[in-house]
Chains A and B, each alone.
Chain A
């Protein structure tokens, strides 16, 4: 979090500096549109980030300034001297506050309302003089690690210099091998080689970062956003291991944040609307990254209401951005692309989160500035997919060289899972319907013959070749048949000429140690040309499908296989997301197994059968609304409705009972038991409301309980000793209520008229009652 704040401060500082000149120019010429836009973008960015970091004062200030400037942009208001100085006063105050954040101090006491009031049309006089400057002369900054800010251009120059140095070294190495040399020369060369390698590592590290750094903040952001908006959103993040230039990560941070905010705010509907629309009440937001050629693709897919192209066109016509004749000529895709035009938004209301119709034009200009592309695809009522394509810059990557028909090619090592020889006993090759399928130790993977893909004549028979098992970032495995495996090499990859890249097979070119050019494959591209379907693509297709077919199902469970092989199910509502971690991240600490996920350590359940040999562990991140625990598993089987009867377990434990799911028995994991057991002392029941549910009423336990738990209650049964704040009973089985506890009575008849009870599927009413009760309970 501190990192993020530091980034935020640095970014604001940078923008403030750049803005310095603009502000003055704007003051002199208030109707200068370009200046107005850049100031507007600044306050917009600050506002966006503040919402995320919880700086309410900053947010209020920037929001107010944004509102005023938006009016000016929409020509509802003409800028005058009073407005200019009011906006300037706000920007100054923002600068001071950022200084405070940087120095780690509290904001100076004071009220911003006079500043905000000064923005109103016709407000008198300039704002009150700003509070005394604080950021100056503070020793606090001295303790921070010393850093300097470098221009990326300089880093690029160093990087390209180092790349050339590596190539020159390789050539020298080749020449040295060809001529007999003195041992002292060899020694000196070795040392030089080592230094160059070290330097290259360092310079590479300065520029590359896993995109995870960007993704790690997303679940929290979505969670906060959806809570604020009264929506339920499940985030699925994939491809965090894709590496990307640090600068690129910084450049896509804002656009990505913006798109996600838009998706949650405008895309995903409220639970009530979703149920009405025949969808699961929990919206699904998938964010995935993968490398494709020399580009990184980031998909943001939601299953929300989609974008109405026709509405966009109407808006564009009414705002004058588009002529009627032009509008009628637009294809559906072009209609959707209108959301990137300045000043268009289909949202009915302006909210604090997004939806003023800025944003998307800012997103596009930011992405295009780094040579990227934003694409939008949407089906009304089914969801929206936004794709960011950003280039991968000059990189050095470890690669494996292989050959086919005596020509060498390189494969990025990061995509390689394993290498097997075809004539080994563990591999069989079959042809099914003309397509190759390799069975490697019982696992079936699609096989792609490199010779076929390239249109070359393989130099060896099938049995003599080798298979390289590849897993493209964010995709599924396939086996690539090659003639021969050669060597691991570190290669400086440069983008190939457009005509070569257009084949879709290659990620770039490079020079081998012997000075000859080598083509580097793009594993995802080879799979595509070879006809293998990648999972990432299938999955996105499935998202929409799931959303439409699992209509009105409250009781969806996630069917999975545990580490011990058991078939189990978890209620979907408690699963926040799925993560894959190194085996090393799981260790026993403070009395129980714990897993490290990013910056947090969570108790880990379900890991009793964890074997030493496994390298990766997949973990469900379970969330009860205020706490998280991890649950280790082997693989997800499917998302299924739970329609069978639950046969309760004899003793309370990790499994609450057995039921038939998909016509096979599965154990239903008792999430509540997991939380109560694994969190132990971490939960202070006093902090949360306690709700008593009849423990023998299956409807209450299966259907109601997750809702009550999600509303922040600890759920107990009759025999528990905790004193409940709330008792829920059904109308056919009245319970005596203690005077301390509020009672909610549920009836099964929708038409009941007594005014006291709530129909048990009146979710909104229920949530309201739960909320009211928790307010009283505290």
Chain B
């Protein structure tokens, strides 16, 4: 098992994203809000002539809103169903190799984390939570309906 993982920090917690799904890591400067969109859609941004839908991971994980006012934010760019998304994270750290298959997390996590969890993987840096990117993008179901 040598899947590569991208370690990022969201809301102060270190988590892992499947590195194969991440196209690039960018610094977002412009952010155009989308009125009436669900709360976890922070807005739109552009990258090399492509529109990115920016997802606020904090909102999606029900951890509160990321403060986007102070300019540049780091984000991981992923493609899901032909649409490009930028996932706003606190910090992008490193790429590591997974040392195990994901296994269920038996400890009690927050509801938001529970929803996007793909399980726990062992790495050289210790156990990390593997995030399901599609669920992260979908946000909370209630928010999607309220839209």
Given contacts A498-B83, A500-B41, A519-B44, contact A505 B51 (CB under 8 A): no
CA distance A516 to B29 in the complex (A): 11
Closest residue of chain A to B43, judged by CB? A517
Q: Is the CB of A494 within 8 A of B35?
A: no
Closest to B49 in A: A167
Choose one: B36, B51, B144; the contact of A455 (CB below 8 Å): B36
Task: Identify the closest chain B residue to A166 (Cβ).
Answer: B49
The interface residues of chain A lying within 8 Å CB-to-CB of B34 are: 500, 503, 506, 519
A497/B49 contact (C-beta < 8 A), A455-B35, A519-B44 known = no
B44 and A499 form a contact (CB under 8 A): no
Given A496-B51, A497-B41, A503-B36, 7 other A-B residues pairs in contact with their CB atoms under 8 A: A407-B35, A499-B139, A502-B38, A503-B37, A511-B49, A517-B44, A519-B44
Mind listing 24 A-B residue pairs with CB under 8 Å? A168-B49, A453-B36, A456-B35, A496-B53, A497-B41, A498-B81, A499-B53, A499-B137, A499-B144, A500-B37, A500-B41, A503-B34, A503-B37, A505-B36, A509-B51, A511-B49, A511-B51, A515-B49, A516-B32, A516-B46, A517-B32, A517-B46, A517-B51, A518-B32
Q: How far is the CA of A124 from the CA of B61 in the complex (A)?
A: 74
Residue of A with least CB distance to B32: A517
With known contacts A509-B51, A515-B46, A499–B32 Cβ distance under 8 A = no
Return chain B residues, CB-CB under 8 Å to A506.
Answer: 34
Distance of A518 Cα from B36 Cα, bound (Å): 15
A-side contacts of B144, CB under 8 Å: 499, 502
B interface list, Cβ under 8 A from A: 30, 32-38, 40-41, 44-46, 49, 51-53, 81, 83, 85, 137-139, 144, 147
The yes or no answer to A647 lying at the interface (CB within 8 A) is no
Q: How far is the CA of A767 from the CA of B139 in the complex (A)?
A: 66
In the complex, residue of chain B having the shortest beta-carbon distance to the beta carbon of A450: B35
Closest 3 CB pairs of A and B: A454-B35, A517-B44, A167-B49
A510 within 8 A of B: yes
Q: How far is the CA of A498 from the CA of B37 in the complex (A)?
A: 10
Give the residue name and chain of the A residue nearest to B84 (CB): A497
Q: Is A236 an interface residue, CB under 8 A from the partner?
A: no
CA distance A407 to B135 in the complex (A): 29
A171 within 8 A of partner (CB): yes
- Is A164 a contact of B51 with CB atoms below 8 Å? no
For A529, the chain B residues whose CB sits under 8 A away are 36
Complex: how many Å from CA A160 to CA B41? Answer: 26
Compute how far the CA of A245 lies from the CA of B45 in the bound complex, rounded to whole angstroms: 28
B53 touches A500 (CB 8 A): yes
| Interface of chain A residues 484 through 538 with chain B (CB within 8 A) | 494-500, 502-503, 505-506, 509-511, 515-519, 529
Q: Which residue of A has the minimal Cβ distance to B138? A: A499
Type the 1/0 row for A254-272, where 1 means its CB is closer than 8 Å to any CB of B.
0000000000000000000
- With contacts A496-B51, A496-B53, A509-B51 known, is A454 near B36, CB below 8 A? yes
For A, the interface residue count at a CB cutoff of 8 angstroms equals: 29
Question: Chain A: interface secondary structure?
Answer: mixed
Give bound CA distance, A517 to B138, whole Å: 21
B105 nearest CB across to chain A (Å): 27
CB distance from A547 to the nearest CB of B (A): 36
Determine the chain A residues whose CB is within 8 A of the CB of B147 once the complex forms. 499, 502-503
In the complex, the chain A residue whose C-beta lies closest to that of B45 is: A517
Q: How far apart are B51's CB and chain A's nearest CB, in angstroms?
A: 4
CB neighbours (8 Å) of B37 from chain A are: 499-500, 503
Kindly list chain A residues whose C-beta atoms are within 8 Å of the C-beta of B51: 494, 496, 509-511, 517
Complex contacts, A510 vs chain B, CB 8 Å: 51
Are the C-beta atoms of A499 and B38 separated by less than 8 Å? yes
Most chain B beta-carbon neighbours within 10 Å: one of A499, A500, A511, A519: A499
Whether the pair A497, B53 counts as a contact (CB closer than 8 A) is: yes
Residue in chain A with minimal CB distance to B85: A497
Name the A residues within 8 Å of B46 (CB-CB). 511, 515-517
Bound form: Cα–Cα A519–B53 in Å? 11
Residues of chain A lying within 8 A (CB to CB) of residue B32: 407, 516-519
Contact flags (1/0) for A396-435 with B, using CB distance below 8 Å? 0000000000010000000000000000000000000000
> Which residues of A sit under 8 angstroms from B53, Cβ to Cβ?
496-497, 499-500
Q: Is the CB of B30 within 8 A of A516?
A: yes
Residues of A within 8 A of B139 (CB): 499
- The closest CB in chain B to the CB of A409 belongs to B35
Neighbouring B residues of A496 by C-beta, 8 Å: 51, 53, 83
Instruction: Report the separation of the CA atoms of residues A494 and B82 in the bound assembly, to the nearest whole angstrom.
Output: 11
The answer for the CA separation of A163 and B33 in the assembled complex, in Å, is: 24
Please, how many angstroms separate the alpha-carbon atoms of A494 and B46 in the complex? 13
Q: Which residue of A lies closest to B40 (CB)?
A: A499
Contacts of B83 in A (CB 8 A): 495-498
Decide if B36 touches A171 in the complex (CB within 8 Å).
Answer: no
Expressed in whole angstroms, the minimum distance between the Cβ of B140 and any Cβ of chain A is 11
Question: What is the CB-to-nearest-CB distance from B138 to chain A, in angstroms, rounded to a whole number?
Answer: 8
CA distance A500 to B38 in the complex (A): 8
Cα distance, A5 to B7, chains bound together (Å): 61
Q: Are B49 and A164 in contact (CB under 8 A)?
A: yes
Residues from chain A with a CB closer than 8 A to the CB of B85 are 497
In the bound complex, residues from chain A placing their C-beta under 8 Å from that of B44 are 500, 509, 517, 519
- Bound CA span A407–B49, Å: 19
Question: Complex: how many Å from CA A517 to CA B86?
Answer: 14
CB distance from B119 to the nearest CB of A (A): 25
- A451-465 CB mask vs B (1 if < 8 Å, else 0) is 001111000000000
- Bound state CA distance, A497 and B81, in angstroms? 9
CB distance from A529 to the nearest CB of B (A): 8
Complex: how many Å from CA A496 to CA B53? 8
Chain A minimum-CB-distance residue to B34: A500
List chain B residues, Cβ under 8 A from A164. Answer: 49
A511 to B30, CA, bound (A): 12
Nearest CB on A from B87, distance (A) = 12
Task: Tell me the complex Cα distance, A682–B81, Å.
Answer: 60
Please give the distance in Å from B103's CB to the nearest CB on chain A: 30
- Residues from chain B with a CB closer than 8 A to the CB of A171 are 49
Which of chain A's residues have a CB closer than 8 A to the CB of B138?
A: 499
B59 → chain A, closest Cβ, in Å? 12
- A151-180 interface bits toward B, Cβ cutoff 8 Å, 1 = contact, 0 = none: 000000000000010011001000000000
Distance, CA A164 to CA B48, complexed state (A): 10
Rounded to whole Å, the gap between the CB of B83 and the closest CB of chain A is: 4
* Given A494-B51, A515-B46, residue A407 in contact with residue B36 (CB < 8 A): no
CA distance A281 to B85 in the complex (A): 57
Whole-angstrom distance between the alpha carbons of A496 and B52 in the complex?
9
Residues of A within 8 A of B33 (CB): 407
A517 to B32, CA, bound (A): 7
Q: In the docked arrangement, what's the CA distance between A503 and B145, Å?
A: 9
User: How far is A183 from B34 in the complex, measured between Cα atoms in Å?
Assistant: 40
By a CB distance below 8 angstroms, the chain B residues around A497 are: 41, 53, 83, 85, 137
Q: How far is the CA of A724 from the CA of B44 in the complex (A)?
A: 76
Could you tell me the distance between the alpha carbons of A238 and B35 in the complex, rounded to whole angstroms?
32
- When distances are taken between beta carbons in the complex, the residues of chain B under 8 Å from A454 are 35-36
Closest to A516 in B: B30
Report B-chain residues with C-beta under 8 Å of the C-beta of A498: 81, 83
Please report the C-alpha to C-alpha distance between residue A171 and residue B47 in the assembled complex, in whole angstroms: 11
Chain B residues positioned under 8 Å from A168 (CB to CB)? 49
Contact with B along A436-476 (1 / 0, CB 8 A): 00000000000000000111100000000000000000000
* A505 surroundings in chain B (CB, below 8 A): 35-36
Tell me the bound Cα distance from A502 to B146 in angstroms: 10
User: Once bound together, how far apart are the Cα atoms of A664 and B24, in whole Å?
Assistant: 73
Query: Which chain B positions have C-beta within 8 A of A515?
Result: 46, 49
On chain B, the residues within 8 Å of A509 by CB distance are 44, 51
With a 10 A CB-CB cut-off, give which of B33, B37, B52 has the most chain A CB atoms.
B37
For A164, the closest partner residue in chain B by CB is B49
Interchain nearest-CB distance for A227 vs B (Å): 47
B45 to chain A: which residues have CB within 8 Å? Answer: 517
CA gap between A503 and B146 in the complex, in Å: 9
Provide the A182-219 mask, 1 if CB < 8 A to any CB of B, else 0. 00000000000000000000000000000000000000
